[in-house]
Every structure is written in C-alpha cells, then in structure tokens.
Amino acid sequence: MRPEPQEAMPQTSILCSGVLGPSGSGQVPPGMGERGGGAGGSGDLIFQDGRLVSGSLEALMEHLVPTVDYYPDRTYIFTFLLSSRVFVPPHDLLARVGQIYLEQRQQLEAGAEKATLKSFSAKVVQLLKEWTEAFPCDFQDEKAMAELKAITHRIMQCDEENGTVKKAVAQLTQSLLLSLAARSQLQELREKLRPPAVDKGPILKAKPPASQKDILGVCCDPLVLAQQLTHIELERVSSIHPQDLMQIVSHMDSRDKHRCRGDLAKTYSLEAYDNWFNCLSMLVATEVCRVVKKKQRTRMLEFFIDVARECFNIGNFNSMMAIISGMNLSPVARLKKTWSKVKTAKFDVLEHHMDPSSNFCNYRTALQGATQRSQMANSSREKIVIPVFNLFVKDIYFLHKIHTNHLPNGHINFKKFWEISRQIHEFMTWTRVECPFEKDKKIQNYLLTAPIYSEEALFIASFESEGPENHMEKDSWKSLRTTLLNRA
C-alpha cells in the first residue's frame, strides 16, 4: 500500500509563540508533615487523601519554605517551582521566599537556641540548592540572582566563620555559576551552527550532478543510520529544560496576564528541535525525489522504511515519525510507479503504529511498552525513549486547556499541575539517557548539512521522474514551469 499524497509540507507546531520522585504523586511521605494549619494563609491549602490538590498562591508559597520541623516533599518542590512561573516570575517568588525566611528567623531569634536557628537555615539552603540544580536557567535573570544573593547573605549571618551553612552556600553558588557558564558556552556554540542549506534546485531541472553523494553513498546500513539519528535526537532534546516545556502553559494562558520575562523570549531549544523534525522529513523526501532511476528510487524508499523500523526498535519514535512524514509528502507519495515496486509490508506496519485514529492509540501503546522497557532496563540501549515531540507538546497543551488554572473559590488548581509536572518529569528522565551507540561524524555531518530541496524543487523532481497523471497535477506542473521560467 502506497501512502496517500498530502497537500502540506511537514509542519509541527510548538505552542509557545532531578528532583521529582519516582511516582510524582504529590503524596506527603510519613514524617514530612502537612504544613496546612498555621497562620498567615497556610490554612488555605486543601488536601485530599494526603495529597495537596489546591490552595491560594500565598499558601502554596509558604508551603514551599521549610520550618524548624518541616521540609517540603521533593515532588512538591519540583512541581511548584515549575508551575509557579505561570503566576509569578521566579525572582518575585524568590523574594517572597526570602521574606518568609526572614519572618521565621526573627521569631526563632526571640527564643530559640542557636543550634535550632542554624538547623532551620540549613534547610533553607537545601531548598535553594534544589532550586538552582533543577532550574538553573532561572538565575540567568539578574533580578533572580540578586534575590538569591540577598537571601544567602542573610542566611550566612547566623553561622560562625567557616561554619557548615556558609560552606553549603559557597558550594551552592559555585555549582550554579559553573552550570550557568556551561549553558552560556553551549548556547554560543549553537548560535554558530547554521541550519541545513535549502537547495532550490536549478531552473526546471532539480536533479543533482551524478557525482553528488546521496545518503546511501554515506551509509547503507539502516541500523547504523537509525543509531546516528538517535545520537542527534538525544543531543538536541538534552538542551530542553522543564521551564521551556512549561511555556506551553504560560504562553497560552489568557487568564493570567502575568508573564515571566525570561519566558517571553523565544526558546531556541524548542524551536531547534521542532525544526530538526521538519528538516529530517524534507531530507527523506529530497533523497527519494532526487534519484533519477526508478529502481534506485525504489531502493531508497525501502532503505528509509528499514531505517524507520530500526528507529522504532530502538525507541526513537520522533525520527521514525519524521521519516514516515517525509515519505507521505505529496511529491513522494504521488510516485505510483515507484511505490508499485516497493515491498510495502514493513511500511504498512509502521503506518499502523502511527495511525492517528483514537488519538494515536497504537503509538501510545508502543510508547508505553518502550517506557516499561526503559524502567526495567539493564543496559543503556534499553533505556532509550524518544517520544514524538509534537504529540507530547499537544498532550501538555490540551491538558492545560481542558483544566482551569483556578477553581471557583480562587484557589490554584494544583491537581492539574501535579499531572503536567509528572509528564514533564517523565520526559526529562528520557532526555538524560546517554546514547550508547558509537558516534559517526561523517554520517551525522551529512544528516545535518546535506542540501534539502524546497517544496517547489521537490515537486519538479517528482514530476520529472513520473509525469503528471491528472488535470490537477498537469495544472500544477504547468504553473511551476511558468513560475520558474519567469523567475529566470
């Protein structure tokens, strides 16, 4: 079965114009306590079966800050720090944490022993440590860094020279600065990398010179190519951070006017990963359409089908979907004579896995299987899970749209943010997997820099390989020729 032609070229949409525990359930562990009955708004937290489900913003902020006999659940720390940016920028949250700390410290100084005050301060440092490790990019903002310095300065005042609290603050600061420096260098490197060139194709003749290499001239082993695609996927996805994904919520929310300034900027990592999917789809289409002889085109299609199959076996669903999308583009899908020679049984299986019916039920079943394999894995090869990124983004977006941020009583619907946080944490777990395959720079360089045809050039190459068969195709071919002749 050959794929049906699609009108549009590949377009995935990014909807944004480790401290979380294994379950991410938000249950309060034994001994943690529920900080919900104190003064100053703490009573505005609502628990159901030991799980925090809603609360006022002020109460949620107070629940984040430790006390002498309380330290927040780590799942709560991650979830609140992640979701709070929908309502308040990180530097303002940090300022409020500093105020709450100061208020509690003043109460302790009135009667508590010095050791108690020091223990309380150490807990606050631990909270700041978890914050800076989970969301270091928050501190690229000068205001947030200034607030952090102000809080740590107050904390160190209660410790003796070379005390444990001061040492912990120094280690926290050093680790954060090193992390920010590394991220800055990585960003500068990415900005220097150019996206793949777009080969417009010569006038009326999109075929490349015979001497020009194609993908089979660089790599003829489907497994090896799938492994190199997995390398690229993991490298690109590793630059995505939890707060980047939270932009799907914070940027699309019309009710909360407040925005974090850092979130307003375009997120390079999300856009780059989105563009990679589209470029891979276009590269597949280019490699097929540029081939002159039908027998070689058939071989090229069967090769990419095998590559997509190997991606599926690895757990690299994003590359698999991009390859299938490339073969489903109209310039490729219309090549009926070529497809008639292709053994499509494997392709039919792949399309079954990516069948969009029932909200991609088959894909989600396969993803669940890969996730379970990853959780029980004994080797890094079995840990690889790379979901279809566009579908993941849509899942987060629709989860956001069908559940309100606020309940009728004005409370923040924290039950919603538990689920968003759980999904984002699971995604981040997948991004931390180290690629076990040997890197082949030659193959990767080809995948990232090989010229790809524009939509016009793809259609020209397609029509030259197999002429138009109906009135619509004939009109399109005529229009293309006229446009290119006028341009010449």
Let me know whether 180 and 321 are in one domain.
no
Is the pTM value of this prediction over 0.85? Answer: no
Let me know whether 242 and 158 are in one domain.
no
Question: Does the residue 74 lie in any domain?
Answer: no
Asked if the model's pLDDT at residue 361 lies above 90, the reply is yes
Q: What is the spatial distance between Cα 366 and Cα 259, in angstroms, rounded to a whole number? A: 37
CB 200 within 8 A of CB 151: no
Segment 277-284 shows an average pLDDT of 95
Let me know whether 172 and 99 are in one domain.
yes
Token reading at 381: 């090869």
Residue 39 φ then ψ, to 5° = -85, 180
Let me know whether 129 and 270 are in one domain.
no
Angle of CA points 302, 305, 309, to nearest 5°: 140
Let me know whether 170 and 241 are in one domain.
no
Let me know whether 176 and 278 are in one domain.
no
Q: What is the spatial distance between Cα 5 and Cα 334, in angstroms, rounded to a whole number? A: 6
Let me know whether 330 and 420 are in one domain.
yes
Asked if the model's pLDDT at residue 376 lies above 60, the reply is yes
Segment 446-464 shows an average pLDDT of 91
Question: Does the residue 402 lie in any domain?
Answer: yes
CB 269 within 8 A of CB 431: no
Let me know whether 315 and 389 are in one domain.
yes
CB 438 within 8 A of CB 223: no
Cα 12 to its chain centre, rounded Å, is: 13
Q: What pLDDT, in 10s, does the model give residues 385-395? A: 999 999 999 99
**Total number of domains in the chain:** 2
Question: Does the residue 197 lie in any domain?
Answer: no
Question: Does the residue 459 lie in any domain?
Answer: no
Question: Does the residue 261 lie in any domain?
Answer: no
Q: What is the spatial distance between Cα 128 and Cα 65, in angstroms, rounded to a whole number? A: 10
Exposure of 317 in the CB half-sphere (CA atoms within 13 A)? 23
Cα 395 to its chain centre, rounded Å, is: 12
Decide the pairing of beta strands 51-55 and 412-413: antiparallel
The more confidently predicted of residues 138 and 21 is 138
Asked if the model's pLDDT at residue 5 lies above 80, the reply is no
Q: Which CATH number fits the domain that encloses residue 236?
A: 1.10.840.10
Question: Does the residue 144 lie in any domain?
Answer: yes
Let me know whether 117 and 226 are in one domain.
no
Coil vs helix vs strand at 55: strand
The fraction of the chain above a pLDDT of 90, given in percent, is 60
Let me know whether 114 and 238 are in one domain.
no
Asked if the model's pLDDT at residue 256 lies above 50, the reply is no
Question: Does the residue 121 lie in any domain?
Answer: yes
Segment 346-374 shows an average pLDDT of 94
Give residue 420's pLDDT: 94
Residue 218 φ then ψ, to 5° = -105, -40
Asked if the model's pLDDT at residue 262 lies above 70, the reply is no
CB 81 within 8 A of CB 414: no
Token reading at 24: 């991410």
Q: Which of 96, 205, 155, 165 is nearest to 461 (CA)?
A: 205
Which range, of 29-33, 86-90, 152-156, averages the lowest pLDDT?
29-33
Let me know whether 279 and 335 are in one domain.
yes
Q: Which of 11, 10, 16, 9 is nearest to 268 (CA)?
A: 16
Let me know whether 304 and 368 are in one domain.
yes
Q: Domain range for residue 374?
A: 218-252+266-453
Token reading at 285: 């289409």
Question: Does the residue 229 lie in any domain?
Answer: yes
Beta-strand runs (E) in 201-346: none
CB 203 within 8 A of CB 456: no
